[in-house]
Amino acid sequence: MNTPKALLPLEDALSELRVFASPSLGVERVDTFDLDGRVLREDLISELCVPPCDNSAMDGYAVRAEDVSAPGAVLKVTQRIPAGTSGQIIREAEAARIFTGAPIPPGASAVVVQEECETLEDGRIRVRTQGVKGQSIRLAGEDIAKGETILKSGSILSPATLGMAASLGRKDLLVSLKPRVALFSTGDELVMPGEVAPKDMGIGKIYNSNRFFLKSLLIRSGCLVTDMGNIPDNKDATIKCLANAAQNHDLILTSGGVSVGEEDHIKPSVQALGELHQWALAIKPGKPFAYGRLNNSQNDSTGYTHFIGLPGNPVSSYMTFLLLVKPFLSFLQGAKEVSYRHIPLRANFEWPKADKRREFLRVRLNAEGSLDLFNNQSSGVLTSVVWGDGVVDNPPGQVIKIGDIVKYITFESWTQ
């Protein structure tokens, strides 16, 4: 593949990945209890009204509104209607003791809250307020109408949407299969925690942090993750590792060794097994990025396994995962749209030197509601992600002065 000479904008890279992620993974039907974060692969259409009938929004008394047109009306209590039961017709000067969620009985047109009613010695009630037709009544279908499409196929399921699906009587839903991801690291300089004590670390050796946060991010993205360890610095061994992983995974994810023009074994190994696209992204941190496809005869639907190579610097790897890999995984599961929320906030810092690339500056929200900047924005300083609670999405060529309104994205919006 020819390496693009110009820096590739983030939106263009996302558009490319959307195309590469088609066709989506297969589907399965899963209990609604277990679907948080999964991608819906059918339209969710209501087969009933929610609520199914007019019901009381409060504990109180169901009455005819014309009987309480002025304060002080005295009514006879003729029945008691808990939730889950139905009442009899309300006639002139009558009231029904009713509880939240209980169906409104025939003839009643208002609910007076119990705090506005006084119980008299003979069991009747005096209504101390004026009643209005429709007050404290939830109408049938006011939340959801029968036949209404509540969620479109491709929606990412959340706690709220799962509750809504349950309210429609859906015991299970059709969702995309979880992506099976093989996670590798590359680089002879990497050491796993526990292998060597800090005092015994050799010159040029570093502990492997990327594998730990990438595995966590993959799991939070709904993936089934296989940690394949560190790929040896040998072409034949690299080809063997990648070929084995391709047979039973949907995606292979690596970090390190994808810088444009860099000598490494990942690039020729992927090319030997399929095809590779290398991009120089117009973002900072996270310029180098690679997407490829490895031949996979076991995949009947596509015949290949996806490959993504992230940069080795930890902050670059972290941010390119959030910006590109997470959306790719959503597209792979059939999601139609993937977006993150920009929040306009005031900068409590200066950024006097504009960059030609779009920058994602690590920041933290302070007690005054403005943003503080971490003092070291190097792509190797993972502390900036730990200290910060989000980033400022800063356009190319843009300087920032104290008081400027900037676009803030929380890490939580990506990783929850």
Q: Cα–Cα distance between 321 and 213 in angstroms, integer?
A: 10
Q: Report pLDDT digits (tens) over 141-177.
A: 999 999 999 999 999 999 999 999 999 999 999 999 9
Q: Report pLDDT digits (tens) over 232-273.
A: 778 888 899 999 999 999 999 998 866 654 446 888 899 999
CATH class of 343-415: mainly beta
Backbone angles phi, psi at 239, to 5 degrees: -60, -40
Cβ atoms 175, 41 nearer than 8 A:
yes
**At 229, is the pLDDT very low, low, confident or very high (cuts 50, 70, 90)?**
confident
Q: For the structural domain made of 10-26+177-332, what CATH number should be given?
A: 3.40.980.10
Cβ atoms 408, 362 nearer than 8 A:
no
Task: Provide the pLDDT for residue 71.
Answer: 96
Q: Where exactly are the structural domains of the chain?
A: 10-26+177-332, 29-49+153-176, 55-138, 343-415
Q: Choose the weakest-confidence range: 9-23, 191-205, 284-298.
A: 191-205
Task: Provide the pLDDT for residue 266.
Answer: 84
Of 72 and 2, the structure prediction assigns the larger pLDDT to: 72
Q: Cα–Cα distance between 14 and 16 in angstroms, integer?
A: 5
Q: Cα–Cα distance between 117 and 107 in angstroms, integer?
A: 20
pTM of the model: 0.83
**At 210, is the pLDDT very low, low, confident or very high (cuts 50, 70, 90)?**
confident
Q: At what angle do helices 235-246 and 266-273 cross, to 10 degrees?
A: 50
- Tell whether the model's pLDDT for residue 207 goes beyond 70: no
Q: For the structural domain made of 29-49+153-176, what CATH number should be given?
A: 3.90.105.10
As its CATH architecture, domain 55-138 has: Beta Complex (2.170)
Q: Count the alpha carbons within 13 Å of 208 in the hemisphere toward its beta carbon.
A: 25
- What value does the mean pLDDT of the chain take? 91
- Tell whether the model's pLDDT for residue 18 goes beyond 90: yes
